[in-house]
Structure 1
Amino acid sequence: MQSEKDISIEDRLKAKKLGPFPCMYQDWRHLLFLNWAYDPKEIQKTLPKGLFVDVHEGKAFLSVVVFFIENLRAPFLPKVPGLSHFIEINLRTYVYDERGVPGVWFYSLDIDSKLAAFGGRTFFHLPYHQADLKSEFKNGIIHITGQRKSNPSTFFNFSYKENNEKNRLAKPGTQDFFLVERYILYTTVKNQLKRGQVHHESYPLAQTDFFTANTNLFESNHFFKPQGPPDSIQYSPGVDVSIFPLKNNK
């Protein structure tokens, strides 16, 4: 198994290069990254053949990412009113393939649109779920609450402060860089490993006052709930994203 230290900074950034023919554009806004260190061996047990848990200084991570999708649109087409703005909450970990290409592996993605959830499952073969999610912006605080439609016992309650000032970029080699500089997603189709690319500029990161994170996403994905607060928290005002279709991981 290739270890984290064998993947150079250059290799980690190769996937950032813009490819041809994106199939979709999205704007990601008000992103909250909540990252917990987790046992690498436990995460490895959950991964498909051909993927390996990626670690930073010996630590693997599970992350809850909360954000808003805006202006979803296909190339050369305008956005569709009512079908282009969503809330998404996902649980992910950090992996690399047999060639050492780093990326992310999703355990679940909850989104407040039946059509978007269907599209994510059908065209990207990702474990999307429709969720009933509500948001409120009040005095600079973002509140998101709700539950999964198919399983209301899976619930979400997040509050965090937006911060559009004093943004910084993650420094190569740091834990922040390891967690946010990811441009490949992996999934499987009929037990065959596939990959997709997302392209965007590096996340502008900022400090945020962390208020509430109450969810049972870990338990609903068969992980033990972390004891204690996240090991790291990042906030980003957002990036504009190009999304590319899946292809065979060769």
Structure 2
Amino acid sequence: MPLPGPAVVPEPISPDPPGSTPRPLLTQSWLDLAFLHWAADPADVAPLLPAGCVPDTLDGVTYVGLVAFRMHRVGWLRLPGVPYLGSFPETNVRLYTVDGEGRRGVVFRSLDASRLLPVAIGRSVFRLPYMWSRMTVSRDGDVLTYTGSRRLPGPRGASSRITLRVGEPVAEPTGSEHFVTARWGMPTTLLGRPVHLPNTHPRWPLHRAELLKCEEDLVAAAGLAAPVGEPASVLYSPGVPVRFGRPARRQA
């Protein structure tokens, strides 16, 4: 049975952004990222997406992502990033979409962050499901550990603990690795209007990674089936600087 939504041809999967953002709305850096992905049935994901979007698929499947990292120096417009309030650990549960214009994007089911003010702004301005959590990111040589425990709004106590060992750089990422990392926007709402918020950054520097531990219930708390078995993909990146452009109108 075909999934409901826009019958459009998706834009190509590309490791490079489709354009530039000469007048950014937001600037920030994403550092020390752990990318964990599990394959999922598109029919299971479709009801969780915004109106006007369908699951993005590769070889008949879509993916559920658990991505932990350090947000660094979030800044508005061309102002310099804020060193304390704009720098914090974050862990996201995310899905992959195509909208009515064929734009590939990311839909966040939850975004756990350790700074209350960015959480409040993300929830009120962009209607993103930010959660205030206790979080840490620590490093011991080539081993990184990401921990989090949710405070508000809940479910209180939803948590994650991810430990991985960074491996060799990826000389040439596979198609599926580009699919889950090279994303150039997200469908969201701004002041009650459906919009596409574009982003640009340099090509991801990716590394293979060995997952040493993954104890989490964030995926289930986000309304998805709890992951079964090992992830289909585990990657690490030291990070990239990111620029978000002005929102574009999106069909709902």
**If the length of structure 2 is used for normalisation, what is the TM-score?**
0.88
Deviation per CA, 1:204-233, whole angstroms, max 9, x where unpaired? 111112111111012112221121011111
User: Which sits farther off after the overlay, 138-147 or 34-43?
Assistant: 138-147
* Aligned residue number for residue 197 of structure 1: 198
Equivalent residues of 1:69, 1:88 under 8 A apart? yes
Shift of 1:203: 0.7
Shift of 1:3: 7.4
Corresponding letter in the other structure for 1:128 = Y
Q: Identify which of 60, 74, 89 aligns with 2:62.
A: 60
Equivalent residues of 2:11, 2:104 under 8 A apart? no
Equivalent residues of 1:169, 1:202 under 8 A apart? no
Q: Determine whether 1:185 maps to 2:189.
A: no
1:131-170 to 2 correspondences below 5 Å: 131-150=133-152, 151=154, 152-163=156-167, 166-170=169-173
Gaps of 5+ in 2: none
Structure 1 residues 8 and 144, CA gap change in structure 2 (3 angstroms):
closer
Shift of 1:15: 5.5
Distance 2:38 2:58 in 1: 12
Distance 2:62 2:169 in 1: 28
Distance 2:189 2:72 in 1: 27
* Aligned residue number for residue 102 of structure 1: 104
Q: Determine whether 1:236 maps to 2:237.
A: yes
Deviation per CA, 1:52-77, whole angstroms, max 9, x where unpaired? 11100001111011111112223443
3-state SS of 1:9 partner:
coil
Q: CA RMSD in A?
A: 2.3
Equivalent residues of 1:52, 1:95 under 8 A apart? yes
Corresponding letter in the other structure for 1:230 = P
Shift of 1:78: 3.0
Corresponding letter in the other structure for 1:208 = A
3-state SS of 1:161 partner:
strand
Distance 2:81 2:36 in 1: 30
Equivalent residues of 1:143, 1:157 under 8 A apart? yes
3-state SS of 2:121 partner:
helix
Equivalent residues of 1:124, 1:246 under 8 A apart? no
Equivalent residues of 2:50, 2:187 under 8 A apart? no
Equivalent residues of 2:163, 2:211 under 8 A apart? yes
3-state SS of 1:207 partner:
strand
Moved beyond 6 Å, runs of 4+: none
3-state SS of 2:209 partner:
coil
Distance 1:3 1:168 in 2: 35
3-state SS of 2:48 partner:
coil
Corresponding letter in the other structure for 2:91 = I
Shift of 1:82: 1.7
Equivalent residues of 1:16, 1:200 under 8 A apart? no
Equivalent residues of 2:188, 2:196 under 8 A apart? yes
Gaps of 5+ in 1: none
Shift of 1:117: 0.7
Shift of 1:2: 6.1
Distance 1:234 1:184 in 2: 20
Deviation per CA, 1:83-108, whole angstroms, max 9, x where unpaired? 22111100111111122111111111
Corresponding letter in the other structure for 2:179 = F
Structure 1 residues 8 and 194, CA gap change in structure 2 (3 angstroms):
closer
Distance 1:3 1:202 in 2: 29
3-state SS of 2:207 partner:
coil
Structure 1 residues 103 and 8, CA gap change in structure 2 (3 angstroms):
closer
Equivalent residues of 1:91, 1:217 under 8 A apart? yes
1:11-22 to 2 correspondences below 5 Å: 16-22=18-24
* Aligned residue number for residue 73 of structure 2: 71
Corresponding letter in the other structure for 2:25 = C
Corresponding letter in the other structure for 2:12 = I
